Structure 1
Amino acid sequence: MLSYNPKEWFSFIFRFHKGDTFRKLIPLMAGIGVYSAVVAFLEIEYWQLADTSHIKNTTVMHTMLGFVISLLLVFRTNTAYDRWWEGRRMWGSLVNNSRNLAIKLAVMLKDKEDKEDKDFFKRMIPTYASVLNLHLKNADISHELFDDATLSPAHYNHKPNMVAKAITGRVNDLYIGGKLTGDQLIILNAEVLSLTDICGACERIKNTPIPYSYSAFIKKFIFFYVMTLPFGYVFQLGYFVVPVVVFIFYVLASLELIAEEIEDPFGTDANDLPLEKISENIKRNVEELLQ
């Protein structure tokens, strides 16, 4: 995720970062420019259309459809941002729940003989965040999560469930061994259950993309809208229609590209959530609490 100062206007205007939509759209913008220039040449030099030509009235269609396309793009970007923000809320909940679980365990496990158990949770609670991060990125996850522990056989696929199961099993062992009371078990159970709830919510965001027909319709709408722009506006703008049409395409296509990037907030794009940094913060907080 990019770190920036939102009050520096000029840095936004003149800076083109790696994931900027302008870089991605350069080939298409060049093609649109050439297409607009060809249409302008044909209408001005070859066909020499008069101002009374009915083609001039195609701008009426663009005026009417401009409102429709703006509504579609607003809905598209809002939906994508809602997914991004919900992902951030889920990982914020993971931070808080990890801290709460560590605080409660630090208070309940006071005796010196509980050091081994505290060391276990000191490693496993941050491990859940790290494994969930890799799981959401579809990255390879080593079964050897630390030097002295192999948590599952190679055929076990869902690693976050595996880590949550290990944490739940250790909490249950503490209860069976008399180190935790029934009331304390109930108190810890809510925090442990929240780990799986957060994982499920993140998987729902990742595995449920915007419906194909909706996404495809917006792309087609933008394409045909821009393709018809030069025909009518040549009469008012002449060859200046080329940069105007290219700029309109850049604005509309950029909104769609931004929505595509942020609708899956768990990837490795420039604007995706900083899951590695959040996982490191969880590890640091838990280690401080379970000393």
Structure 2
Amino acid sequence: MISYNPKDWITFIFHFHKADTFRKLIPMMIFIGFYSATIAYLEIEYWDLPDDSHVKNISIMHGMLGFVISLLLVFRTNTAYDRWWEGRKMWGGLVNSSRNLAIKLSVILKEESDRAYFRKTIPSFASILNKHLKDDDTAKQLFEDDHLSIDNHKHKPNQVAKIVFQKINDLYLANKITGDQLIILNHEIQSFTEICGACERIKNTPIPYSYSAFLKKFIFFYVMTLPFGYVFNLGYYVIPVVIFIFYVLASLELIAEEIEDPFGDDANDLPTTKMAENIKRHVEELL
């Protein structure tokens, strides 16, 4: 995730970050520029269309469709940002649940071996979930103990949550914690799987294909028809104007594509790796 000062306007205007949409759109912008130049040359020099040509009225269509495309892009970016923000809230909840579980166990548990066990397992859930959402391979074994191995062919976060609850249940059977304490600890463990499920819902449910494909086609054909009508008013200046309009519309779509999956490795995705490291550090401090 990019760290920046939101009050530094000069940096925003004149600095191009590697994740900036301008870099990604350069090839397409060059194509749009050549295309617009070709249409402008044909209309002005070759076809020699009169000022009262019906082609000039195409700009009326652009005025009507401009409102429609703006509504579609607003809905697209808002939906993508809602997914990004919900992912952030889920990971914020995971941080709080990990801390609360560590705080309660630090008071309840008296033996160092039990505290050391949870000192490793609680942060492991965040680390495994982070890799699970990024589709990265995880180690088959969490610790040095053979009986704590993780099966890569099964749901990894669920296995870690099960290991944590199994240990707490064993402590209850060994009379190291009471029934009331077991109920208190159960809430945090249950929240682990709820957060995992919510993150998987975001990860595995993209924007419907038909909507995304339609919007891309709409932007493309809208921009490709712009030179025909505006050549009459702008002449060859239509070239930079059309390129700029394409840059604005396509950039909004690219930004929405990037943030709709907040658990990837893009520059604006959530810093889940850093958050998992913070959970590990905080749990180790508490236990």
Q: TM-score, normalised by structure 2?
A: 0.98
1:186 pairs, out of 183, 187, 191, with: 183
CA–CA distance in structure 1, aligned partners of residues 32 and 60 of structure 2: 21
Counterpart in the other structure of 1:162: 159
Counterpart in the other structure of 1:176: 173
CA–CA distance in structure 2, aligned partners of residues 265 and 102 of structure 1: 27
Deviation at 1:19?
1.2
CA–CA distance in structure 2, aligned partners of residues 42 and 143 of structure 1: 65
CA deviations 1:82-103 (Å, max 9, x no partner) are 0000000000000000000000
Unaligned segments of structure 2, at least 5 residues: none
CA–CA distance in structure 1, aligned partners of residues 152 and 271 of structure 2: 29
Letter in 2 for 1:33: G
**Alignment check: 8 A CA contact 1:98 1:286 kept:** yes
Deviation at 1:78?
0.1
CA–CA distance in structure 2, aligned partners of residues 147 and 68 of structure 1: 59
Deviation at 1:152?
3.0
Letter in 2 for 1:281: N
Deviation at 1:182?
0.6
Counterpart in the other structure of 2:285: 288
1:60 aligns with 2:57: no
Letter in 1 for 2:19: G
1:269 pairs, out of 251, 258, 266, with: 266
Counterpart in the other structure of 1:197: 194
CA–CA distance in structure 2, aligned partners of residues 145 and 155 of structure 1: 12
The 3-state SS of whatever aligns with 1:84 is: helix
Deviation at 1:147?
3.8
Shift in CA distance, 160/89, structure 1 to aligned 2, threshold 3 Å: same
CA deviations 1:142-199 (Å, max 9, x no partner) are 1122344562364542111111010000000010000111110000001000000000
Q: Percent identity?
A: 72
CA–CA distance in structure 2, aligned partners of residues 158 and 31 of structure 1: 46
Letter in 1 for 2:83: R
CA deviations 1:221-275 (Å, max 9, x no partner) are 0001000000000000000000000000000000000000000000000000001
**Alignment check: 8 A CA contact 2:150 2:156 kept:** no
Counterpart in the other structure of 2:104: 104
Q: TM-score, normalised by structure 1?
A: 0.97
1:256 aligns with 2:250: no
1:69 aligns with 2:83: no
1:128 aligns with 2:130: no
Letter in 2 for 1:175: Y
The 3-state SS of whatever aligns with 2:142 is: strand
The 3-state SS of whatever aligns with 1:145 is: coil
Counterpart in the other structure of 1:219: 216
Q: How many residue pairs are counted as aligned between the two chains?
A: 287
Structure 1: 4+ residue segments shifted above 6 A: none
**Alignment check: 8 A CA contact 1:226 1:248 kept:** yes
CA–CA distance in structure 2, aligned partners of residues 9 and 20 of structure 1: 15
1:27-66 paired onto structure 2 within 5 Å: 27-66=27-66
**Alignment check: 8 A CA contact 1:103 1:289 kept:** yes
Q: CA RMSD in A?
A: 1.0
Letter in 2 for 1:93: G
Deviating more after overlay: 140-149 vs 93-102: 140-149
Deviation at 1:17?
1.0
The 3-state SS of whatever aligns with 1:285 is: helix
1:136-151 paired onto structure 2 within 5 Å: 136-148=133-145, 151=148
